[in-house]
Amino acid sequence: MAGADRAAVAAAAIGRIDTWLQQHAPRARAALRPPASEADLTAAQEAVGQPLPPDLRAWWLYADGAHFGLQTDAVWLIPPGFVPYPVAEALKSRRLWMDVTREIAPFDQWDDFVNSENNRPAGTVCEFWLPAWLPAATNHGGGNLFVDLRGGPKNGCVMEFYRDTGASAQPAWTDVADMLYDIATLLEEDEAELDNLGQINWP
């Protein structure tokens, strides 16, 4: 999908998500942060060394993730149970995973391995965190959703990464726009459950 199309699909889906949240889960909507700043987005671009996909920009310009803390860290907006990252937390998580990888990866030629894996097509599985991966959400249990910014036809796809297995599965969504469209549709089809606190859960 072309960049302009991805941005348009994302914007439409975000509108549907916001309408649903305001009508059915206002407490969950209130737990989302205000839009990210251009400085935040620039910091993310500089970290990964390339422009952000337009649909990811649209998402962060709608809400800079969710508030993290007591009573506000369970906005499981993304199935099966992920909380959207603020940009700053996404970059912090990225640095952490890269540091962990350097500590545990059993390679003498670490830089060669990273360069090789980082130059493989987006959507290719890898058990160690790569520089071209940008976190987008967390399950607060050692799992992340990330946007794969490597090259190739799947550039911008959304994948899952887990502490014990890495990114071992094929992309969960073709891009952020596809993810947002799926969320909007599932919410409108009453696939989500609301608990007594008005928080979203996925059965």
CA distance 190 to 39: 36
CA distance 82 to 26: 18
Q: Is residue 176 predicted with pLDDT exceeding 90?
A: yes
Q: Is residue 101 predicted with pLDDT exceeding 90?
A: no
Q: Which pLDDT belongs to residue 69? A: 67
Taking Cα atoms as reference points, which of 126, 79, 135 lies closest to residue 107?
A: 126
Q: Is residue 143 predicted with pLDDT exceeding 70?
A: yes
Structure confidence by residue, pLDDT tens digits, 71-93? 554 689 999 999 999 999 999 99
Tell me what the mean pLDDT of segment 105-130 comes to: 85
Q: Which pLDDT belongs to residue 113? A: 80
Q: Is 66 helix (H, G, I), strand (E, B) or coil?
A: strand
Q: What angle do CA 6, 98, 103 make, to 5 degrees?
A: 160
Tell me what the mean pLDDT of segment 158-178 comes to: 96
Q: Which pLDDT belongs to residue 145? A: 98
Structure tokens at 44: 């993310």
**Is residue 91 within 8 Å of residue 78, measured between CB atoms?**
no
Q: Which pLDDT belongs to residue 1? A: 61
Q: Is residue 70 predicted with pLDDT exceeding 60?
A: no
Domain range annotation of the chain: 3-201
Which pTM value belongs to this model? 0.93
Domain 3-201 has CATH 3.40.50.300: no
Q: Which pLDDT belongs to residue 17? A: 98
Mean per-residue pLDDT over the chain, rounded: 91
**Is residue 60 within 8 Å of residue 37, measured between CB atoms?**
no
CA distance 56 to 147: 8
Q: Is residue 3 predicted with pLDDT exceeding 90?
A: no
Structure confidence by residue, pLDDT tens digits, 30-67? 999 999 999 999 999 999 999 999 999 999 999 999 98
Cβ atoms within 10 Å of 194's Cβ, excluding its own = 13
Long-range contact list for 187-190, CB < 8 A, 24+ apart?
187/16, 187/17, 187/20, 187/21, 187/24, 188/16, 188/20
